[in-house]
Amino acid sequence: MTPLAEKMRPKSLDEVIGQEHLTGTNSTIRKMLENDTLNSLIFWGPPGTGKTTLAEIIAEQSGRKFFKLNAISSGVKDVREIIEETKKQNLFSGKSPILFIDEIHRFNKTQQDSLLHAVEKGWVVLIGATTENPSFEVVAALLSRCQVYTLKSLSYEKLEELLKSALNKYNSEFQSNFKIKENAELSVRDKYIQLNTEGYGGMIASTWLDRPLSVAGRVIVKNGNKYESRLVNIDRDLVLIPNLAIHMNRKVNEGIALNKQIDMLPLFSAGDRKKDAFKALIASELKVSKSDIYGSDLYLYNRMKSSVWGENSEFFSAPGIDNLECAFTSLKGFIKGANESNIQVYVCFDNEEVGSETKQGAASTFLYDVLRRINDKLGMNEEDFRCAIANSFMLSCDNAHAVHPNHTNKTDATNCSYMNEGIVIKSHAGQKYTSDGVSIAIFKAICETAKVPYQFFANRSDEAGGSTLGNIAMSQVSVNSVDIGLAQLAMHSSYESAGVKDAKYMENACKSFFDSCIREVESGVLEIK
C-alpha cells in the first residue's frame, strides 16, 4: 500500500501548500520554469516542508532527467558516476539533467568540491536540500553558483488545510464500498456498457441508487522495467446505478433485497460502446496507453456534496462520515496536543474490520513493527520496549450509532447516544470494544479536564452490534485502551449524518489526551499529569 505521504505528494506548484512565496504566480521558481531558464538551487528548511517534492516538480515540469542522491549514504564515487551519465544525457536532450542531493550539508568539503566543475560547465543543474544554514554548511565556491530559497514551517492553518486536502482525497478516491473488477465492462444487448463491481463490507446498498457517482483509485503503470503506482480520479459525474421503476417492482416499498451482481452495477455508456472503453478512459486520464496499465484498485465513490442542515444548522451530512469524522477530529487533536514525557503515535488503519487481516489492517504487525523501530532507534532494549507498551494508553476512535428518531427501540434504553451530546464511550460485555472500568475512568477524567460532555453506548442485550479496530489491534500490541466515537445516523450509507458540535468535542478531548501523561505509579493505580 502506498504510504499516505506519497499519496498526498503534490504533482505541481499549484498543489504545494505553505510555500506560496516560492510557488506563487509571480515567484522566481515559476518564472524559471515558464522561461526554461533553470539555475542551480539550494532549498533550506525544516524537515517535512517539501524540499524533495519541489525538486521533483521542477524536474517533471522542466522535462529534465532527474538524478537523486542522499548525502548520508553517498560519496564522491556516486557523484562522479552521475556526472558522467549527465554528460551523455546532454548530448541527446540538450537539457542539463537535475542532480538532487538531499541533506547536502552532510557532504564534506571534498565531496562538495567534486560538484563544482559539473555545475560550472552546466552538465548538471544542482538542487540541494538542507535543514542547516547553507551559509555555514555549503562551501563558498558551490554556494556562489546556487540560488538559496528558504522553506517555511507549516503554520497550524496550513497543516489544517493539508489535512482537509488529504481527507478529501481519501474520501473521493478510497472511501467506497464498490470495487471495479479487473475485467470491468459488461455489455447489455450491445446497447449499454455497465461496470462490473464487487461490494465491500456491510453497506446499505439502496443508498447508492440514483446518485451521481464516479471512479477513483490506484493504477499500476508499466514504465520501462518499472511498475509505478499512479492515482487517478475521474472528477466528473461518470456513472449511475438506476433504480427499477415502481411499475416493474410493485413491492419495492415493502423492502426488496438488492442483488449486488444484478441490481448494483453502474451504467457507464450508451455511446460508441467500443471494447475497453473504460480502460481507455483511465489511460487517457493518466496520459498512458492502455497496454501500459498492468493492474488497478479502482472504486466507485459518491459525488454528492456535503451539507449542513437543521433548524440551527446543527447537523451535517456527507459520504464516508464513518470513520472519516473520527479520523479528522482525532488527528486535529493530535496535532494540537503535546507532552514531552510521551512519544505520541497516531495510526489510521486501512481495510477496516472485514479486511483487518490484510498487511495494512489492524490485525497486521504494522503497528507493532513501527513501535519496535521507534524503540530501537532510541537505543532502548527489549525490556524497555515491554515496559513502554505496558505504560501506554490508546484511544480507539470509531463512530457510534445515534438513537434513530423513527426507531428508538433499536438501541438500549439507558446506554444510548445522541448527536451533539458529546463523545460516546462504548463498552461490551464480550469485549467487542476495548473499554473497561479502568480505561473508562481515565477517559472520563480526560473529558472533564477538556470540559467536553460524554455519554455511554452499549448494544441491546438481544441484538448483535458492530465492533471497532481497538480489540483487533490489541492482538498485536497489548495496551490499556478505551473505545470512543461520535454519534451518527445511517452508518454504512453512502451519505451519512452526524452532529456539528460533536466534531469539536472530539478534537478538544483528543488534544487534552495528548496533553496528558498517563502512568501506572503502583499496582492498580494510574496517575494523570
What number of other Cβ atoms are within 10 A of residue 261's Cβ?
A: 10
Q: Which domains does the chain have, with CATH numbers?
A: 4-153 (3.40.50.300), 160-302 (2.30.250.10), 307-528 (3.40.630.10)
DSSP symbols for 390-422: HT-EEEEE--EEBPPTT-GGGS-SSS-B-TTS-
The tens-digit pLDDT sequence of the chain (529 residues) is 445 566 677 888 888 888 989 998 888 899 988 888 889 999 999 988 899 999 999 998 888 889 999 988 888 888 888 888 877 766 555 688 999 999 999 999 999 999 998 999 888 999 999 999 999 999 999 999 999 999 998 887 887 777 766 655 554 444 457 899 999 999 898 889 999 998 876 788 889 999 999 999 999 999 999 999 999 999 999 999 999 998 988 888 877 778 888 899 999 998 666 788 999 999 999 999 999 999 999 999 999 999 999 999 999 999 989 889 999 999 999 999 989 889 999 998 877 666 677 887 888 899 999 999 999 999 999 999 999 998 899 999 999 999 999 999 999 999 999 999 999 999 998 888 999 999 999 999 999 999 999 999 998 888 766 677 887 888 888 899 999 999 999 998 999 999 999 999 999 999 999 999 998 888 888 889 8
Strands of 121-191, DSSP E:
125-130, 147-150, 178-188
Strands of 209-292, DSSP E:
213-223, 226-233, 267-269
Q: Return the pLDDT at 299.
A: 92
The CA–CA distances, whole Å, from 293 to 187, 235, 296, 339 equal 22, 20, 8, 47
**Smallest Cα–Cα separation from 458: which of 408, 411, 399?**
411
Q: Return the pLDDT at 494.
A: 92
Cα atoms in the Cβ-side hemisphere of radius 13 Å centred on 372: 8
Which residues, including other chains, have CB under 8 Å from residue 75's CB and lie 6 or more apart? 111
According to DSSP, the β-strands at 315-318 and 307-309 are antiparallel
Q: Return the pLDDT at 172.
A: 43
Residues 314 and 500: beta-carbon distance below 8 Å: yes
Tell me, yes or no, if the pTM score tops 0.75. Answer: no
Which residues, including other chains, have CB under 8 Å from residue 376's CB and lie 6 or more apart? none
Residues in the chain: 529
For residue 75, what is its C-alpha cell? Answer: 560519496
Strands of 14-86, DSSP E:
41-44, 66-70
Alpha-carbon gap, residue 487 to 507, rounded angstroms? 14
Residue with cell 459525474: 237
DSSP state of 452: -
DSSP state of 34: H
Alpha-carbon gap, residue 102 to 99, rounded angstroms? 10
Helix (H) or strand (E) holding 156: helix 156-173
Q: Return the pLDDT at 353.
A: 62
**Smallest Cα–Cα separation from 116: which of 98, 81, 141, 79?**
141
Q: Hey, what amino acid is at 424?
A: V
Is 52 buried (19+), middle (13-18) or exposed (0-12) by CB count in 10 A?
A: middle
Helix (H) or strand (E) holding 117: helix 109-121
Alpha-carbon gap, residue 323 to 397, rounded angstroms? 8
DSSP state of 205: G
Q: Return the pLDDT at 40.
A: 93
